[in-house]
Structure 1
Amino acid sequence: MIRFLLRRIGQFIITFLAASFLLFAVTEFSPGTVASKILGPYAVSSQVDLLTEKLHLGDPLLVRYLRWLGIVAGVVENPLGDPTIGLGLSDPRGNRYVGNFGYSLMLKEPVVDVVGERIGYTVLLTLLAILVIIPVSLAAGVAAGVNPGRPVDRILSMGAVILTSLPEFVVAVALLLVGVVWLGILPGTSPMTQGGRWPLSLQLVLPVGVLVIASASYVLRIVRASVADTMRKPYVRTALLKGLKRRDIILHHVLRNAMIPPITVILLQINWLLTGVVVVESIFAYPGVGSLLLQAALFGDIYLVQALTLLALIVAVGTQLIGDLCYLALDPKIKLG
């Protein structure tokens, strides 16, 4: 187990370095120079040239990447916070600390603070969605998988296919029409502000509902296919012929083996919910990292985009590690090596 974890940590470091270098190169070579992005569209060429010289932005790409990596690791001071540059940026933690991703050019605040204000809302939205997605999709998927071809299977499978084919914005519009326009029992936006007409619990209903519909229907289909395939295995038929109760066979033999493929899908949904809910958060004005990433990309906030993209990478690698450990727990025959 220790060797496995050390190997995974090594793979994560290599993946992080490779992905961060590609990300740094893409953002550096996007339209416009780094200095012009920092100063804004109204900066004159003399200001751009002066900032380029002070920040050493004319150095080779690899040198700039290593300098940026040193800033993130807390080894090198972030020059953007130097008062002599005149950008008016300051960080209460100083210019050198671990996790220093620079400053948000859009909000003129440290990236760590900007992301810290938003990540909690996205985590809350993700947890609520997962708490509904997992039991609903597993229960419905198992019910369909153990009754292949029967009415319950046809109804659940057809409903899942229809809901999976609907884009998120279509589901959002439909829920807005029902909950806001027709019934008038839910707010049209979810800014998560307290003290207004709508309590926070009601502001979460529509965003969570859209995520559950978009994700649970897909997970349901995967669970149904895995359970139906496991029900056809020889050891299941042997257990039936021996006279074991169908309920006991499903609980003790089918579910344990059928849950291995759905775990991958569920963990991918967690990754998507944490870092890819741009559409849902934008429609409902939800203050999460998804809408923040969209705003940063439209504004050209390179430091904020870098931080959010690396956050998505960390979540993806973390969910993969959790998935490997879940596989081992479900099937001891799977080796960690």
Structure 2
Amino acid sequence: MSSEKSYLRSHAYHHLLLISFVTLIIIVVPLALNVSSLDGREVWGDVTEDLICAPDQNGCSALNLNEHYCERIVWSRFLRTPYNAMSNMAFVISSMITLSTVSLHYRWMDHQRPRVPPQNHLQRCDLLNKMYALLLAVGGLGSFVCHSAITYFSAQLDRAGIWMILTPVLAMTLLRWVPMTYGEAKGSCFYHGWIVFWYVLLPGGLSAFHLIDPTNALATPLLYIGIPIIVGGCISLAAVRFCLGKCGYIRETQSNYKLAAAAIVTAGVGFLFQVPERVGACDAGSGLVWKLTHAYWHILISLACFFNHRFCFFERLYVPDFGEKAGINASDRDSDQDSDNSLEMRKVDMEEENSAALSVKNIDVII
């Protein structure tokens, strides 16, 4: 046991060093480019009305060219709004920690004797976790480009990135409703089909819609209506499953609902901070710390995604003993134990009968 703990601890240290190194790079490099002689106009383009507005948009001159989400724009810098841009690195860091958590848990499962079986779909199919982490990082990088460039095209990357983050969250919530036995019966075909639809086609299609036809009349309403529906749907699905399990209508799971509550609270506070005007952060008397509510939104949403993944990944959809095959419940184990005990008792009785018969036979021979 001590050797196993030291083995896992050494891998945890390696992961920590790797994550720290990558985090240092993704923070230092953009900041170094920002303070270097690199001009933002050379990277993202010159400041024109067409740069940040649609070519056919009316009233473009009324747009504030000095601030973006209440943060002052420095058009000559690589990071034109550095705080809102760099806060998106939280999504990349969250994706790395997610991959590290999954990897360490798989090592722990493999080194248990007997081996611990997968407790849910995310533990059964590692590709689900990798695709989730990838889309989380891609969504964060899209928002990073948006707040660094502040151009019309970069704004569409930000909008497209929202679907990269939201659709996998909905996919994980729906996957909790799929019985483990169904995943076992269908095997990799089910999981690969699930990934293709929820992690490739759906987010890719919605993102392409914003990039190809951003002036479409449905583009903005799709975000304003779709985001609350997805978030509300995830919360409702989790609450309904919890209630049905408590009432005995479906099999109850072993879940850490504190993580689910943490995800809901952080997402709710983040949504409140998304638009600084919503909390009066753009008022003239507001300090810099209060004006950066949009940056806090990025960090809070990345935390909500991390909490949600931990909630789903460590959930036990069924509760077999370690080393047993999936689907064997407690009553089956008790009946199997009773059968084993009965078989052992019958074996003892047969040995006693044979011994008695042998004794009688010996007496007959003596007589």
TM-score bracket, shorter-length normalisation: under 0.3
Query: TM-score, length-normalised on structure 2?
Result: 0.25
**Radius of gyration: which is bigger?**
2
Q: Give the TM-score normalised by structure 1.
A: 0.27
